[in-house]
Copies of this chain bind each other. A is one copy, B any other.
Amino acid sequence: MSPMTTLLHFEDFTLGRSFAGGPYSVTRDEILEFAREFDPQPHHLDEEAAKHSLLGGLAASGWHTCAMTMRMFADALIPLAAARGGIGSPEGRWMKPVRPGDVLRLEAEVIETKATSKPFGFVTFACKVFNQREQVALIAMTPIIATRSGA
């Protein structure tokens, strides 16, 4: 059997089907490195400043959490799926601070599918990222382009 036959195509992403990703271990070094490069706000860079911020302590940039989510999503789904990439992020909400030492996991549920006349369709996943306390840290909608079966 060719490994290709195990790929998930557009038709396999039925509404309600769910995929699990993670774990993703968050380190202090990674939080600081991302913040230095992309989001140099004091509450992502400095323990003391972060204590006095709305975050109440050092926490990852929300964009960093999005990137971590993408990594969990890619590791869980890309090897399985005849996927051709994403088209954007119609919604992302940072629900809880993501801290050094957190261990994240992903639940990605198919909530919308859109067939087209092209050899691919659009599949939207509702992604929830939980921390080790089972709090939802991030909610995101993630639409991908998936090849149709036989296309």
Interface, chain A (partner B; CB < 8 A): 34, 37-41, 43, 53-55, 61-64, 66-68, 70-71, 74-75, 78, 83-94, 145
What is the copy number of this chain in the assembly?
2
On chain B, the residues within 8 Å of A90 by CB distance are 91-93
Chain B's closest residue to A90 (CB) is B91
Contacts A85-B55, A94-B87 given; indicate if A70 touches B38 (C-beta within 8 A): yes
9 CB contacts below 8 A, A to B, read A37-B71, A39-B71, A41-B78, A53-B85, A61-B70, A64-B67, A87-B94, A89-B89, A89-B92
Interface of A is mostly: mixed
Contacts A54-B84, A85-B53, A91-B91 given; indicate if A71 touches B38 (C-beta within 8 A): yes
CA gap between A75 and B63 in the complex, in Å: 15
Which 10 A-B residue pairings sit nearest by Cβ, starting from the closest?
A: A89-B92, A88-B93, A38-B67, A38-B71, A63-B70, A39-B70, A63-B67, A88-B94, A54-B84, A88-B92
CA gap between A64 and B70 in the complex, in Å: 10
Q: Name 5 extra pairs, CB < 8 A, besides A40-B71, A62-B89, A87-B93.
A: A37-B71, A40-B74, A54-B145, A67-B67, A89-B91
